[in-house]
Structure 1
Amino acid sequence: MANFNNRRGGRKGPAPQEGEQVVRVRLPKKEEREVLAIVETLLGANHLKLRCMDGVVRLGRIPGSMKKKIWIHEGDVVIAVPWDFQDGKADIIWKYTRPQVDWLDKKGYLRT
C-alpha cells in the first residue's frame, strides 16, 4: 500500500529490516498436473532433459512465451506440466530464482 504522507516521491514504504527477507514462492498445483523438475541437460532447439520429482525423466520444452524472457540453464529448478497424451514430454511454465530454490529445499519440496 502507498504511504500517502510522502508527497514528494521517492520510496513509498519502510525499508526492510536487516536480515529479513520475504520470499514468495509459487508451488506446483497438483490438480493441474504441475510437477517440480530439475534441468539435467540442454538439448538445443528449446528442448531440455528434466528429472521430475515424481521420478520420471521427461523431455521438456520451453514455450515461445518464455523463450526470450527467461534463460534456463542446467541445474535450474522449474515447474513442468506433463502432456496429457504423452507422459514422457512436458512444457515448462515457471523457473525458480536462487532464494526460492533455497526456500523449497529448506521446506523439503526438493527431496525425492
Structure 2
Amino acid sequence: MSSPNDESEALEFPLPDGQTTLLCVIQQLLGFDRARVFCSDGKVRLCRIPGKFKKRMWMKVGDVVLVAPWDFQPERGDIIYRYTSNELQKLEKKGLLKELKELLG
C-alpha cells in the first residue's frame, strides 16, 4: 500500500502526456534563447527557452527537457521544464526514457 508521501513525490515534476508535451533532448544551442531539440516523436524542433529558465537554469547539450509544441507551427515549441538527474532516474524507473533512448541510438 502506498503512502501519501509517495504520491506527492511523483507529482513534484511535470510528466509528458504525449499530446501537448513531449520529452526531448537538446541537440544544439543556437543562441538568442533558441535550441534545437530531438523529441520522443522522432522530430527535430526549434524551441524557445523562456526568460524564466534562461536566467535561473543553465541549459546544455544533452539535457532532457519537456517541450510544448506550438499548435500553429508544430516544428517549433517552447521548453517548459528541464529535468535534474534525480528526476531522470525517476523517469527511467517509470520507463519513459526507453523510447527516447531507442530513437537516439
1:62 paired with 2:53, answer no
Equivalent of residue 83 in structure 1, options 63, 67, 70: 70
Structure 2 letter corresponding to 1:39: I
Query: Any stretches of 5+ residues in structure 1 without a counterpart?
Result: 1-21
TM-score, structure 1 as length reference: 0.72
Identity of aligned residues (%): 42
Higher helix share: 2
Distance 1:58 1:42 in 2: 12
How many residue pairs align between the two structures? 90
Range with bigger deviation, 76-85 or 63-72: 63-72
Runs of 4+ in 1 over 4 A off after TM superposition: none
Aligned-pair Cα RMSD in Å = 1.6
Q: What is the CA deviation profile of residues 52-99 of structure 1, one whole-angstrom value per residue up to 9, with x for unaligned ones? A: 111111011101222101111111111100011111101001111001
1:42 CA drift (Å): 0.8
Q: What is the CA deviation profile of residues 16-67 of structure 1, one whole-angstrom value per residue up to 9, with x for unaligned ones? A: xxxxxx6744212446x01111111111111111111111110111012221
- Bigger-Rg structure (1/2): 1
Range with bigger deviation, 58-67 or 80-89: 58-67
TM-score, structure 2 as length reference: 0.77
